[in-house]
Structure 1
Amino acid sequence: MDDRSFDPDRALPCGRTDGMLLDFLADSAPPELAKHIPTCQDCQARLAELDSDWAPVRRTAHLPIESPHGLVERTLMAVRGVRGGRGAAPVELVQEGGKLRVSPQAVVLLTRRLCLELLAERPGVHLRGCVGDVDEVRVDLAVRYPLPAPELADAIHRELTAALGEALGAGAPQVWVRVVDVEPPRAG
């Protein structure tokens, strides 16, 4: 076969397809295909091509992968932020007809959403974490070099504090914004 591209629906002269043969290589083909292959030169030739084409993929799949620096810490921080502190009192907002209680988790999620909206307007600045409760929230950012990190952090702090104040009034938490990572500039 001259064409080494992969199309799962391409049929061989015997009626089997590349997709069926790939299932065979992945040990998920029906038993009748396993019986057919030893008797079919077309399937054997195509399997040899597929096997050699997929060998680098199989080798790569067996390589140990080291998680990116800080991934575990950022993930745990995000989970802790959404779970919130146990027993933390909710924010109570007095409204017409009664009080609205906002849980610490909702305060963190609101902060995260508002921050992501602010960052959507700022390419090169990414949210790395958002944790806290009803009293204070910490927002961790990554900024792409050479953007002015301190000025961006200050602007985001001001805008986020204002947005939370608008949403939660006097119940808005204190906001802390930190730049925890500087990313390298984009190539070319």
Structure 2
Amino acid sequence: MADHSAAALPCGHTDAELLDVLTDSASPELAEHVRTCPHCQAELAELEAVWAPVQRAARIPVEPPHGLVERALMTVRGVRGGLGAAPVELAQEGGTLRIHPQAVVLLTRQLCAEILTRHPGTHLRGCVGDADEVQVDLAVRYLLPAALAEEVQQELAAALQDVLGAGAPAVWVRIADVEPPRTT
């Protein structure tokens, strides 16, 4: 089999250009050249053999993973939600700081991501809410204890309390998905 690098064929064309022919995105001039060029035809035959499994795989319909759409919408709602909620107000020297509910959700998401780095096998799946209450959904690797959600909830509540003080929202953490164990 030929080396499918960027080296040009004797006619001056490359495998990359021939892949354009295979994907029906070549210029009409190149398509006409390939029909009459023995170098391109030979290389194209080899590329077709290599490219055929890719083309077959591309034709297979793929269903999105279970819950993907719901998780994506939950994330969007979490960031865009709370538009009518009152901001968190923190009294400070010189005035009051107002924090938009969306910023509270984004802060919660960031703090949770930092906390989860200390808990291997856990991943943030969603974070929704407003300035009063935030719900965090986690995915955990199989065989991690269910009490992990409570531990993350306590750590997250403490982190929010450190940043927002009395304005910290109530936090609810739940395990929304369990992933299979890693195989070695």
Note whether the superposition's TM-score is higher than 0.5. yes
Query: Partner of 2:183 in structure 1?
Result: 187
Match of residue 161, structure 2, among 154, 165, 182: 165
CA distance in structure 1 between the partners assigned to 2:150 and 2:34 by the alignment: 66
**5+ residue gaps, structure 1:** none
The CA deviation at 1:30 is: 2.9
**5+ residue gaps, structure 2:** none
| Matched residues, number | 184
CA distance in structure 1 between the partners assigned to 2:23 and 2:140 by the alignment: 42
CA distance in structure 1 between the partners assigned to 2:49 and 2:163 by the alignment: 59
Residue 11 of structure 2 corresponds to residue 6 of structure 1: no
Contact 2:89–2:96 (Cα < 8 Å) also in 1:
yes
Runs of 4+ in 1 over 6 A off after TM superposition: none
Q: TM-score, normalised by structure 1?
A: 0.93
Measured on the aligned residues, the alpha-carbon RMSD in Å equals 1.3
The CA deviation at 1:48 is: 1.3
Query: Partner of 1:129 in structure 2?
Result: 126
Query: Partner of 1:50 in structure 2?
Result: 47
One-letter identity of the residue aligned with 2:76: V
One-letter identity of the residue aligned with 1:169: G
CA distance in structure 1 between the partners assigned to 2:4 and 2:168 by the alignment: 56
The CA deviation at 1:27 is: 2.6
Q: Please give the secondary structure, in 1, of the residue aligned with 2:11.
A: coil
Correspondence list, 1:111-150, <5 A = 111-150=108-147
The CA deviation at 1:96 is: 1.3
Q: Deviations over 1:80-110 (max 9, x none)?
A: 1000123111111111111111111100000
Q: Please give the secondary structure, in 2, of the residue aligned with 1:149.
A: coil
One-letter identity of the residue aligned with 1:138: Q
One-letter identity of the residue aligned with 2:98: R
CA distance in structure 1 between the partners assigned to 2:130 and 2:4 by the alignment: 52
